Structure 1
Amino acid sequence: MPRALGTFCAAGWRNMRPWPVDYRAEPEFELGWDLAGGLESLNLALKEWIGLLAYRLVGHIGAMAPNGC
């Protein structure tokens, strides 16, 4: 969501309010080690950070962690 917010801000849209819609939380808490699930979460997080870095380097966003505009 930070990448989307930064892109809207860079395009001149003001007073944007982030609203999460793609929930990825499990419906119930589970103790244990889930290697596949952990790797999937790591993969998603890395893609988002790489996307933020790429958008920052090419100038699509003004900050790595935009928090509003």
Structure 2
Amino acid sequence: MEKKKMNSVAAMAMVFLILLSANIDTVGVAAQGVNCYDNCNTGCAGLPSKQYIKCDKKCHKRCGDDDKIDGNVG
């Protein structure tokens, strides 16, 4: 009887650890998308001037105005 209890406790602990690790991965992904423009613009770094300007414009078009997204208006 006690072996069954130990197995069920171990199974619940494993489920808890799996759920916890899945939650940690989700938080990391969400944090990456917080500032779309910065993430996009980082890919433009190191390009020659004309290419950088094109890349930057694409980032503005793709991500919109980050001031509105981040709530930094005003």
In the superposition, the TM-score normalised over structure 1's length comes to 0.37
Normalized per residue, the structure richer in helix is 2
Higher relative contact order (CA 8 A, sep 6+): 1
Larger radius of gyration: 2
